[in-house]
Structure 1
Amino acid sequence: MTDTGDLPGRPRQGAVGGPATARAVCVLAPNPSAMTLDGTNTWIVSEPDSDLAVVIDPGPLDENHLRAVIATAEAAGKRVAVTLLSHGHHDHAEGAGRFAELTGTSVRALDPKLRLGGEGLGLGDVITTGGLELHVLSTPGHTADSLCFHLPADRALFSGDMVLGRGTTMVAHPDGRLGDYLDSLRRLRALTVDEGVETVLPGHGPVLDDARGAIDYYLVHRAKRLAQVETAVENGLRTPSEVVAHVYADVDRSLWPAAELSVRAQLDYLGEHGLI
């Protein structure tokens, strides 16, 4: 979901099959929409001198896309060794089962229901396939099972739907919770300071070259929206749909159903903190 303009920094998107960093290649799924922006970014990640690759988010159940991911890896002399999921939304995970069949690989995820023939995935895990060093970060908020992946060698972060390449994401109430989301954003920001993360490789939209600026923008945006929701309630608006029509009046109406999920999460947050 997007309800704002471009983020800070210099957004860029490599061509399908083209490199985004020294170790990451994006294959764009053909599922563009108001919710998915240009489509789902499926990431192929590997060490340059390795013949093994990790795939993050195979995307929707689209046979041509799944085969394009495999073909892109093979063209670079790589074999897919394991599949990782940032979270369970269909635009990221629906094709995982078929992709596992095509590649003979396991699927690792935080949610046990999404795992196929492999271990779980959670905070502190490090993926070392083919010499790669990919750190798993627990980042609930957009959904309860949201994960991000830190690639230290490229100073990069695979952000799933936590940070998009354009605009802002939704908090998918009731599974997603605003308090968790804000805490996760703060942890991601700390990576930009403590670990030197510079680049965001998102689940949707272009690559962002200013990770700290993008995350700061998200934190400020969330604070502003929360204040607007609080003011709307103080002014007598009570139902989520009423709040959406007032607070998100500047947003395309096709996004209002998603905005309502975020509003419900914001209302819960305000209630939990005794602010309404």
Structure 2
Amino acid sequence: MSSGLPGNPADTVGGAATARALCVLAPNPSPMTLDGTNTWLLCEPGSDQVVVVDPGPQDEGHLRAVIDAAERQGRRIALTLLTHGHADHAAGAARFAELTGTQVRALDPAHRLGEEGLTGGQVIEVGGLELRVVATPGHTSDSLTFHLPADGAILTGDTVLGRGTTMVAHPDGVLGDYLDSLRRLRTLAGEHGVRTVLPGHGPVLADALGSVEYYLAHRAARLAQVETAVEAGCRTAEEVVARVYADVDRALWPAAELSVRAQLRYLEDHGLI
């Protein structure tokens, strides 16, 4: 919900991003989804099995475009994963499962199709491809990140975006959890060779560590601004948004209000207001 991410984002969204990751962009652009939802196709070189992350909205043309992208390379879709259950990432999952015959794995049982779920710490192996599941709650309670170690990449869903910053979707999203998740990703980037962010929206980011550190600094600055706004007499989330997010497009103020409510709760829980 603001500009200024560091690093060298790609000029365009879609297409090959790493040796194992290809993006198909969904046609659902908006102030909240940026260029649209990034549906990721992951495949180990030489394998014919593809893992799809976030099939995206209920859009028949997009779902078939994802399948076509795999088939053009002589590959088949073997598994579908969800970073979280928001509709722009997951609404097309049931139809996608019908078209591909795959199970859909997610943290939240409400979004699974099949018996297997996902939890942090799991390792998924499909056709030689290795993905490590990282619990990153905060944007939503069911948010996950997928670590692709062979490419030094993380698929972050909405936890880190390719442009701007994300919201904490109060009350399901919790700011304390979100900050912990960002610190977890910072450790991956700083100590485990993660260089690239493959986000759920926006372009690829080439500086994973710088991007996560920016997010942490941004959150700290916003918290301080919210605390100052309350001290100055703001009594409602709406009043805080008008003061603190005056630099943000008004189309994003409803999302900003959710983040402010999460920030206010965090400050209250920590005895700061």
Q: In the alignment, which residue of structure 2 is the partner of 1:150?
A: 147
Please state whether the residue corresponding to 1:134 is helix, strand or coil.
strand
Equivalent of residue 212 in structure 2, options 211, 215, 218: 215
Per-residue CA shift, 1:203-250, capped at 9, x if unaligned?
000000000000000000000000000000011101000000000011
Q: In the alignment, which residue of structure 2 is the partner of 1:201?
A: 198
TM-score with structure 2 setting the length = 0.99
Q: In the alignment, which residue of structure 1 is the partner of 2:230?
A: 233
Whole-angstrom distance in 2 between the partners of 1:194 and 1:153 = 15
Matched AA of 2:51: V
1:1-276 equivalent positions in 2, closer than 5 A:
2=1, 4-12=2-10, 16=14, 18-276=15-273
Whole-angstrom distance in 2 between the partners of 1:269 and 1:13 = 36
Tell whether the 8 Å contact from 1:139 to 1:147 is kept in structure 2 after alignment.
yes
Tell whether the 8 Å contact from 1:232 to 1:247 is kept in structure 2 after alignment.
yes
Whole-angstrom distance in 1 between the partners of 2:166 and 2:229 = 21
Whole-angstrom distance in 1 between the partners of 2:71 and 2:199 = 23
Whole-angstrom distance in 2 between the partners of 1:177 and 1:242 = 21
Q: Tell me: CA distance 1:15–1:213, structure 2 relative to 1, closer, same or farther (3 Å).
A: closer
Per-residue CA shift, 1:109-162, capped at 9, x if unaligned?
000010001401011111101011100000000000000000000000001000
Percent of aligned pairs with the same residue?
73
Deviation at 1:6, TM superposition (A): 3.5
Give unpaired runs (5+ residues) of structure 2: none
Whole-angstrom distance in 1 between the partners of 2:4 and 2:59 = 29
TM-score with structure 1 setting the length = 0.98
Please state whether the residue corresponding to 1:128 is helix, strand or coil.
strand
Please state whether the residue corresponding to 1:25 is helix, strand or coil.
strand
Please state whether the residue corresponding to 1:224 is helix, strand or coil.
helix
Matched AA of 1:174: P
Matched AA of 2:9: P
Per-residue CA shift, 1:233-269, capped at 9, x if unaligned?
0111010000000000111111100000000000000
Matched AA of 1:221: H
Whole-angstrom distance in 1 between the partners of 2:67 and 2:92 = 13
Tell whether the 8 Å contact from 1:107 to 1:118 is kept in structure 2 after alignment.
no
Per-residue CA shift, 1:12-57, capped at 9, x if unaligned?
15664x2100000000000000000000000000101100010000
Name segments (4+ residues, structure 1) moved above 4 Å.
none
Q: What is the number of residues matched between the two proteins?
A: 273
Whole-angstrom distance in 2 between the partners of 1:263 and 1:132 = 39
Tell whether the 8 Å contact from 1:13 to 1:20 is kept in structure 2 after alignment.
no
- RMSD between aligned alpha carbons? 0.8
Q: Tell me: CA distance 1:236–1:167, structure 2 relative to 1, closer, same or farther (3 Å).
A: same
Matched AA of 2:169: A
Tell whether the 8 Å contact from 2:13 to 2:35 is kept in structure 1 after alignment.
no
Q: Tell me: CA distance 1:250–1:217, structure 2 relative to 1, closer, same or farther (3 Å).
A: same
Give unpaired runs (5+ residues) of structure 1: none
Whole-angstrom distance in 1 between the partners of 2:9 and 2:16 = 14
Q: Tell me: CA distance 1:161–1:254, structure 2 relative to 1, closer, same or farther (3 Å).
A: same
